[in-house]
Structures are given as structure tokens and as C-alpha cells.
């Protein structure tokens, strides 16, 4: 009997230890990103960046906030298409805003808010359907990102004025994204969760809630979604692509205000290159330093000033802060109104009544 209790007694300590290691790693990444950001601003010249920001009219910030609102709507539609049955958009608004605010303001590598989304949406929707939908949304994001990078690569080649290293980098990143998208979807369609779970059980004890039957139910739901609802998935990918187009429009408006020549083609290349770089550095919390470096590097490769790229990044940070503020308020309100404790991992896979 004692031998049976020891594994359970050690499990919380092991999880706590892993949590501490993860926190330390995330903290180091944030510190490195901040150091890189400061170094980048010093290299460009703080005066040049401030001068570039000062040239932007107040109406531009109103416009980018309006674009952000449309992007939120497109994100909600992507999530809605990830469900098999029609789900009212209003049911997803607070979970989406709160989850993304947590992803954007805490060092969790863009995944910490997914549990909050599931917890809040799971109050009105079946938990397993919610978890499956969030996995499908991730796949749609990767597929849409790959298509957006392809558009940027084509425009970069067509302009003929982009440094060769950036063109080659965009092609390489596009290939990585295609492999990631195809692999991720194939993994789900072919029961990858159950198979990987079996492999993990051979090397470590699995929690009681992650039983074979529970994982198989999620696996089956994912496979059925892709096989029976390909049009819904395609619609979700289209919404993701339109959302990226909105990000490109923000860049275009900044370049237009700065009087940059060929602002549309420049905006497409700079935005796609920066987003592709962020894709492979997803583990850096808040994209701190990475996003700024991507915009600056892409702008320089186009023959633009690095300050212009930094200005675009700072404008996007402005919209992020505005959106995160709304999301954190939504999260605080939801926590006060909820009569449930935050979702436990067991609730994700446990059989439903």
C-alpha cells in the first residue's frame, strides 16, 4: 500500500520543480529580449525613433484600433468555425479576450491563456468540444501563417529590390511553416495524441485523468472534425489570413504616414517577414525584442530606415496594450461572476456526464 502512495506523493513536487525551471527559462528569455530591444534602440538612435513616431497623426492610432477590432472579430470567427456545431459569437468574446490577455502579459509562451479560454468557454459549452476547438484553431493559425508568408515571398521576389538574404529567409521560413502545418494536422487526423501518450507512458507515470480512454475520445473528435468538416476548417484558415492582412494594413498606414515610397509592397514584405520570424521564436514571451528586430531587419533589407520598422512595431505594441487591457478587465469580471474554480487539467479529458 505504501508503494502505491509514493508516486502520488512525489508527483506534486515533480510538477512544482518543472514549473520553477520553466519560470526561470521564461524569465531568462524575457531578460534577453529586453536587452536586445535596448541595444536595438541604441543602435538606431532613440532620437530617430522618437522623431519617426512624432510624425504619425493621432487619426492613425484611431484607425489601427478599428483594424484591431476587426481582427478580434476574425479571430472569434476562426474559433467558431473550429466547432462542429454553431456557437454564438458572444459566448466566445470574453474567453478569447481574457485568454489572449493572459498569453500577452505573462511569460507562458503563448499557451498560458488557452486553459483560461477553455475554463471560461466551458461554462457554457461542452468541455471536450472546447478543447478540440482550441487545438483546431492552432492548426488554422499555422496554416494561415504559411499562406501569408507565401504572399510576402511572392511580393518580395516581384519587387526585385529586396536583399537576397531576406528572400531566402522567407522561403526557408515558408517551408518550415508548411511542414509544421501539414505535420500538425496529420498528427491529429491519425490519432497522434493517443500514440504519443502510449510512448510517454513507457517512460513516465501518467496522471490518473489522462487515461487511454479519455485521450482516445479527444483524438477521435479531432479526426472526425478534419474528415467531416474540411470546409469549416478552410473558412477558419481564411479568417486567419484576413487577420494577417489586417496587420499588413496597419503597417501600410504607418509607412504611408511616414511618406515611404511603395508603401503597400513594402508593408506586405515587412509584415510577412516579421510574423514569420515570430513564428519560429514562439517560445519568447511577448515576442519581446523579436518582433522589433524582425521589423527593423526587414525594413533595412528593403532599403528603408530601421527607425521606420521600429515605429511600426511600437504602433502594434500600442494596439496590443489596448487589447490586453480590455482582456484583463474581462478576465477580472469573469472571475468575479464565475461560481466555478479555475479549470483543472482533469476536467479537460474526464468523461462527460
- List the domain range (segments joined by +) for residue 309: 18-349
Burial of 273 (0-12, 13-18, 19+ CB in 10 A): buried
Burial of 143 (0-12, 13-18, 19+ CB in 10 A): buried
| Contact by Cβ (8 Å): 324, 105 | yes
The answer to whether residue 5 sits within a structural domain is no
| Contact by Cβ (8 Å): 257, 55 | yes
Residues in CB range of 135: below 8 A, 6 or more apart: 188, 222
The answer to whether residue 13 sits within a structural domain is no
Q: How far is CA 173 from CA 149, 159, 178, in A?
A: 8, 19, 9
| Contact by Cβ (8 Å): 149, 244 | no
What confidence score (pLDDT) does residue 224 get?
Answer: 87
208 CB neighbour count, 10 Å cutoff:
11
The answer to whether residue 223 sits within a structural domain is yes
What confidence score (pLDDT) does residue 199 get?
Answer: 42
Q: How many domains does the chain have?
A: 1
Residue-wise burial string across 111-129, b where 16 or more C-beta atoms lie within 10 A, e elsewhere: ebbbbbbbbbbbbebebbb
What confidence score (pLDDT) does residue 333 get?
Answer: 80
Q: Please give the average pLDDT of every successive group of 10 residues along the chain, which has 353 residues.
A: 43 52 68 75 84 92 95 96 90 91 69 80 84 91 94 91 89 93 84 53 44 67 88 96 95 93 89 88 73 87 89 91 90 70 45 41
* Reported pTM: 0.81
The answer to whether residue 1 sits within a structural domain is no
Helices 306-337 and 89-105 cross at an angle (nearest 10°) of: 120
The answer to whether residue 292 sits within a structural domain is yes
What confidence score (pLDDT) does residue 67 get?
Answer: 96
Residue-wise burial string across 238-267, b where 16 or more C-beta atoms lie within 10 A, e elsewhere: bbbbbbbbbbbbbbbbbbebbebeebebbb
What confidence score (pLDDT) does residue 195 get?
Answer: 54
The answer to whether residue 162 sits within a structural domain is yes
Q: How far is CA 112 from the centre of its chain?
A: 11
The answer to whether residue 30 sits within a structural domain is yes
What confidence score (pLDDT) does residue 338 get?
Answer: 61
Torsion sign (Cα): 162, 168, 172, 174 = positive
What confidence score (pLDDT) does residue 114 get?
Answer: 81
What confidence score (pLDDT) does residue 48 get?
Answer: 87
Q: How far is CA 121 from the centre of its chain?
A: 18
The answer to whether residue 4 sits within a structural domain is no
Amino acid at each position: 500500500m505504501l508503494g502505491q502512495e509514493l508516486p502520488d506523493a512525489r508527483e506534486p513536487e515533480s510538477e512544482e520543480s518543472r514549473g520553477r525551471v520553466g519560470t526561470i527559462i521564461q524569465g531568462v528569455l524575457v531578460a534577453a529580449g529586453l536587452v536586445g530591444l535596448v541595444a536595438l534602440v541604441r543602435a538606431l538612435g532613440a532620437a530617430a525613433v522618437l522623431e519617426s513616431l512624432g510624425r504619425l497623426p493621432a487619426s492613425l492610432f484611431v484607425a489601427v484600433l478599428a483594424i484591431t477590432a476587426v481582427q478580434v472579430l476574425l479571430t472569434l470567427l476562426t474559433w467558431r468555425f473550429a466547432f462542429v456545431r454553431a456557437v454564438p459569437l458572444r459566448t466566445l468574446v470574453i474567453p478569447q479576450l481574457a485568454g489572449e490577455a493572459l498569453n500577452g502579459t505573462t511569460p507562458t509562451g503563448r499557451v498560458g491563456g488557452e486553459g483560461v479560454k477553455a475554463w471560461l468557454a466551458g461554462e457554457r459549452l461542452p468541455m471536450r468540444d472546447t478543447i478540440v476547438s482550441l487545438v483546431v484553431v492552432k492548426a488554422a493559425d499555422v496554416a494561415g501563417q504559411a499562406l501569408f508568408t507565401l504572399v510576402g515571398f511572392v511580393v518580395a521576389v516581384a519587387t526585385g529590390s529586396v536583399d537576397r538574404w531576406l528572400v531566402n529567409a522567407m522561403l526557408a521560413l515558408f517551408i518550415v511553416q508548411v511542414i509544421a502545418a501539414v505535420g500538425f494536422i496529420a498528427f491529429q487526423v491519425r490519432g497522434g495524441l493517443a500514440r504519443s501518450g502510449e510512448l510517454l507512458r513507457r517512460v513516465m507515470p501518467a496522471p490518473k485523468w489522462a487515461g487511454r480512454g479519455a485521450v482516445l475520445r479527444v483524438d477521435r473528435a479531432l479526426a472526425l472534425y478534419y474528415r467531416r468538416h474540411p470546409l469549416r476548417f478552410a473558412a477558419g484558415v481564411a479568417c486567419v489570413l484576413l487577420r494577417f492582412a489586417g496587420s499588413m494594413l496597419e503597417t501600410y498606414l504607418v509607412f504611408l504616414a511616414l511618406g515611404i515610397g511603395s508603401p503597400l509592397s513594402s508593408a506586405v514584405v515587412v509584415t510577412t517577414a516579421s510574423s514569420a520570424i515570430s513564428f519560429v521564436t514562439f517560445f519568447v514571451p511577448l515576442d519581446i525584442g523579436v518582433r522589433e528586430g524582425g521589423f527593423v531587419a526587414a525594413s533595412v533589407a528593403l532599403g528603408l530606415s530601421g527607425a521606420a520598422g521600429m515605429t511600426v512595431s511600437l504602433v502594434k505594441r500600442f494596439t496590443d496594450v489596448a487589447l490586453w487591457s480590455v482582456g484583463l478587465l474581462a478576465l477580472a469580471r469573469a472571475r468575479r461572476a464565475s461560481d466555478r474554480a479555475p479549470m483543472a487539467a482533469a476536467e479537460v479529458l474526464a468523461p462527460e456526464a
